[in-house]
Amino acid sequence: MSILNVDELSVQYSTSRGTVKAVSSVDLGLQQGETIGLVGESGSGKSTLGLSILRLLPPPGHITSGRAIYNNIDLVTADEAVLQRIRGREISMVFQDPSATLNPLMRIRDHFLEFYGAHEPDLSRSDATSKAKGLLVQLGIPSERLEDYPHQLSGGMKQRVCIGLAIALTPRILIADEPTTALDVLVEAQILDLLRGLKRDLNLTLILITHNMGVVAETADRIAVMYAGKLVEVGGTRSIFQKPLHPYTEALLQSVPNLKKRKQPVKSIPGNPPDLVDPPSGCLFHPRCPYAFEKCVVKHPPLLSLDDNRQVACYLRCE
């Protein structure tokens, strides 16, 4: 069953340099209970897409067209009051930058009190504190750490607190933006385990944003690959890893170190992602694509559905 449908969503940032076309006509359906890994290089529009689903884009970002349908509500045009009911309670986000969530001048306890005060004003302070303690313990943090300030916590603990605030009202959808990027591999594994456990226990639908293909390999049911603001390939994790169909996905996978094949060299993707103020003509990947031919320079290929629930935007696959 589909829980969220993003339809032709486009987002731009108006800057002094010009208009940044950060997300362009993205279509993405989310199935209840699945984990979808949203991957792509830095600047490909992953965070912008996540933030725009909750209409939390910072200025000068704005949605220029499209829809995001949740529960028959279009989140793009819904009243702010409706969105406020949905944020945190139904759809929640762990932000890429923990400082967007954690105020260095506030104890962890006060973050939870403020959060419950905003969303459940009838809850007493002592009940809110008990709930916060319960959450911290569920997340593997001793409850006395509620008295700490953010700087007194390790990176992994801070990330757990951010996850705790995001799941405090047991949302149905969690958008986790690079939840493990700043962490070492051991703590990363713990956080991924935690997310998998929460997904199972709370029946969460998870959008996991990351540039790390290893993280999606371990965690996601499906993968959506973004390049320069567009989705270029969507499909089951196993089938994408076995046979990437888009040249960009292929390049991304070749750039992941494979511990089983240590002798196989890791290839970096040649060239740089395009400037989204002045993107190239045609297929946005053509300046870096080893398979590009004449047509690729003229028009961007559409994202077409193939067998096996695969979607791909590449002329090599649709002719």
∠ CA 310-314-318, rounded to 5° = 75
Q: Can you tell me which of 10, 24, 35, 44 binds ligand ATP, judged by CB under 6 A?
A: 44
C-beta closer to Mg ion: residue 35 or 96: 96
Q: How far apart are CA 184 and CA 36, in angstroms?
A: 23
| 22 lies in the site for ligand ATP, by CB under 6 A | yes
Q: Does 291 bind ligand SF4 (CB under 6 A)?
A: yes
Total residues interacting with ligand ATP, rule: CB under 6 A: 18
DSSP string, 116-152: HHHH-TTS-HHHHHHHHHHHHHHTT--GGGGGS-GGG
Task: Select from 296, 303, 310, 311 the one that contacts ligand SF4 (CB under 6 A).
Answer: 296
Given the rule CB under 6 A, which of 57-65, 108-116, 164-172, 259-267 is the region that contacts ligand ATP? 57-65
Measure the CA angle with vertex 130, ends 128 and 133; round to 5°.
Answer: 110
The correct pick among 50, 66, 244, 247 for binding ligand SF4 (CB under 6 A) is: 247
Q: Of residues 79-118, which lie at the interface with ligand ATP (CB under 6 A)?
A: 96
Of 3 and 314, CB closest to ligand SF4: 314
Kindly state whether residue 47 participates in binding Mg ion, applying the rule CB under 5 A.
Answer: yes
CB of 12 to ligand ATP, least distance (A): 9
Both tokens of residue 143? 């409850």
Instruction: Copy the structure tokens of residue 106.
Output: 């506030």
Q: For residue 299, with 0-12 CB atoms within 10 Å meaning exposed, 13-18 middle and 19 or more buried, which class applies?
A: exposed
Cβ contact 194:24 at 8 Å: no
Look at residue 247 and give the partner it binds from Mg ion, ligand ATP, ligand SF4, none, a contact being a CB closer than 5 to 8 Å depending on partner kind. ligand SF4
